[in-house]
Amino acid sequence: MNKEAILALEDGRVFRGFSFGASGEAAGEVVFNTSMMGYQEILTDPSYKGQMVCMTYPLIGNYGVNRQDVESIRPFVEGFIVKEASKTYSNWRATEALGDYLKRNRIVGIEGIDTRALTKHLREEGAKKGIISTKDLNHKSLIKKAVESPGLVGRDLIKEVMCKKAYDWNAKGKFRVVAVDSGIKHNILRHLEKRNCRVRVVPATAKKEEIQAFKPHGLFLSNGPGDPEALPYIVDTVKGLIGELPIFGICLGHQILGRAFGGKTYKLKFGHHGGNQPVIDLRTKRVEITAQNHGFAVDVDSIPDKNVILTHINLNDKTSEGMEHKKLPIFSVQYHPEAAPGPHDAWHHFDRFIELME
């Protein structure tokens, strides 16, 4: 018999379901992801630290879990929410079932709830703090715990996901690139390596001098979790490197760059999470379907340096998705050009970074 589990949101909404994965209790900001596949990459994306992910596609786990499709050293989501978790799987690379993988990594999951109703609620009311529990089934108690949970605003989570010391991703390459790890995904590093980059990965706490010691041709600012406003140390480091070398930022790296230019960031109502977000390049009018995972955005208009211009916007809500400096070799995008999972429309941004270093 399946063990009962409950998802409770801070606004009092409660969903009853069944446990899969680890037993216990987990809290985080509840968001929905519209990707139809790629759940293993989503689970291991460090940007999801502090969040519990609801998959909108109804059947998850049917191709199991393998050793190749991880994007970091382990899963970082706080909890996983699905309509139906497949007990059986079929794929030639698969090594275990999704539920067993979550249990082994101590990730609490819930299945059997109405994920459509949850998604519509979040879409209308905004992302909510929530809690999944298999041990406390009292609605009032769980709602209270959800209300009291920390959420994302004001939190520095990158120290919980970054590397502890610098390391070399690969040994050879024409271009020396320092990648600042705020929760970097492996596929970013693969893209850089594929383009003849020798990549040194440094923790987000690295100082300007440590970055310069590698004599890099370019600086890459990675994705990551939490609130960019809580990261003054990395903002100050990036501020000191502006104008000294080409810089490319994505996701949190885009937000860090925006703040380094003196701009403001703000919390989105429900964020963008999934593999089908339409973005338009304002310069070329080209539309890309992109992979996204962010709950904060840059207010490009607040940046004092008017050489920094808005280059991309989201076609759903018109929020900023990219910027560049008109005189310096610096640009960034809010979305994930490396995908994993997601479409490949935006791979060309890595090529542009190479061009700036040549």
338 classed as catalytic = yes
**Calpha distance 140→145 (Å, rounded):** 9
Strand partners, 49: 77
**Residues 186, 191, 294, 336: which is the catalytic one?**
336
For 25, 154, 216, 242, 356, the CA distances from 208, given in Å and listed in that order, are: 40, 24, 12, 11, 20
Beta strands in the chain (DSSP E): 4-9, 14-21, 25-33, 51-55, 59-60, 79-81, 84-85, 108-111, 128-133, 167-168, 175-181, 197-203, 218-221, 247-250, 264-281, 287-299, 308-314, 320-325, 330-333
Say how far apart CA 339 and CA 291 lie, in whole Å. Answer: 6
Q: Which of 10, 229, 324, 338 is catalytic?
A: 338
107 vs 74: CA distance, rounded Å: 10
The DSSP symbol for 78 reads S
Choose the catalytic residue: 78, 121, 251, 254: 251
Q: What is the DSSP string of 193-227?
A: HHTTEEEEEEETT--HHHHHTT--SEEEE----S-
Say whether 139 is catalytic: no
User: Torsion-angle region of residue 188: left (phi > 0), alpha (psi -120 to 50) or beta?
Assistant: alpha
Q: Report d(CA 265, CA 320) in Å as an integer.
A: 11
DSSP 159-183: GGTS-SS-EES-S--SEEEEEEESS
Known active-site residue 336:
yes
Going by the DSSP 8-state scheme, the letter that residue 337 receives in this structure is T
Distance of alpha carbon 140 from alpha carbon 202, whole angstroms: 44
- Residue pair 222/179 in contact (Cβ under 8 Å)? The answer is yes
CA distance linking residue 327 with residue 325, whole number of Å? 6
Contact 9, 146 (CB under 8 A): yes
Is the CB of residue 290 less than 8 Å from the CB of residue 343? Answer: yes
Catalytic residues: 251, 336, 338
